[in-house]
A and B are shown apart, each in its own frame.
Chain A
Amino acid sequence: AQKITQTQPGMFVQEKEAVTLDCTYDTSDPSYGLFWYKQPSSGEMIFLIYQGSYDQQNATEGRYSLNFQKARKSANLVISASQLGDSAMYFCAMREGDRGSTLGRLYFGRGTQLTVWP
């Protein structure tokens, strides 16, 4: 089974609007971390936001927020006030185990291509 599922191959949003990118995950480990990365066409993975499985509140970082619904095993990324520079591929990823686990292996989804239009 896929550990990370991103069902939206592509999303379009108008500048200044908000957009939600979907991510569901599958793990039996009670301790895990969820990440969102942005990958522009240049290829570099840019870290956006992190949510730990025991975190009580949804993570926020500037215009990025993570809508964490543990019972549904979903971790959707919300981008508010979209900008043209937000156009990129977005990946959801998961690490299993405690934050201090020996192996920080990340499992990635297939990504969502976001296009912001003027």
Chain B
Amino acid sequence: ETGVTQSPTHLIKTRGQQVTLRCSSQSGHNTVSWYQQALGQGPQFIFQYYREEENGRGNFPPRFSGLQFPNYSSELNVNALELDDSALYLCASSIGASGVVYNEQFFGPGTRLTVL
């Protein structure tokens, strides 16, 4: 076990709704990355947070947004849900220092989102 937790485990929403997914990083980790994994695909990078600031973003629309809290836990928010948003959402935590992010990313178990 990596010590990275995510909630909820599963979620069912309908088109147009909004959803918030949560991630608690491993103790001592100050960086959280979020990935979307559609069925049969590899994970795709959504964005990363380092010390409460967005530190890079993949090719996802603005309706995907995030937050990182002082305890380094993080939220992923998705507005105006679409059917194609159905996927496994993974968060990964890692250690960064002085603007440098190390690469050992430890993944949580994921949240499986179904949009009907």
Interface positions of A (Cβ within 8 A of B): 4, 33, 37, 42-47, 50, 91, 93, 95, 99-111
Contacts and interface: CB of A to CB of B under 8 A. Distances in A.
Given A99-B102, A102-B100, A103-B101, A4 B56 contact: no
B109 A43 contact: yes
Nearest to A109: B42
Interface string B99-116: 111111111111010000
A45 B42 contact: no
Contacts of A111: 41-42
Nearest to A107: B45
A45 B56 contact: no
Nearest to A46: B107
B55 A103 contact: yes
B33 to A, nearest CB: 7
A44 B33 contact: no
A104 B42 contact: no
29 contacts: A4-B42, A33-B103, A42-B109, A43-B88, A43-B90, A43-B112, A44-B107, A45-B43, A45-B92, A46-B107, A47-B105, A47-B106, A50-B104, A100-B102, A101-B103, A102-B50, A102-B55, A102-B99, A102-B100, A103-B101, A104-B31, A104-B33, A104-B101, A105-B33, A105-B48, A108-B35, A108-B42, A108-B44, A109-B42
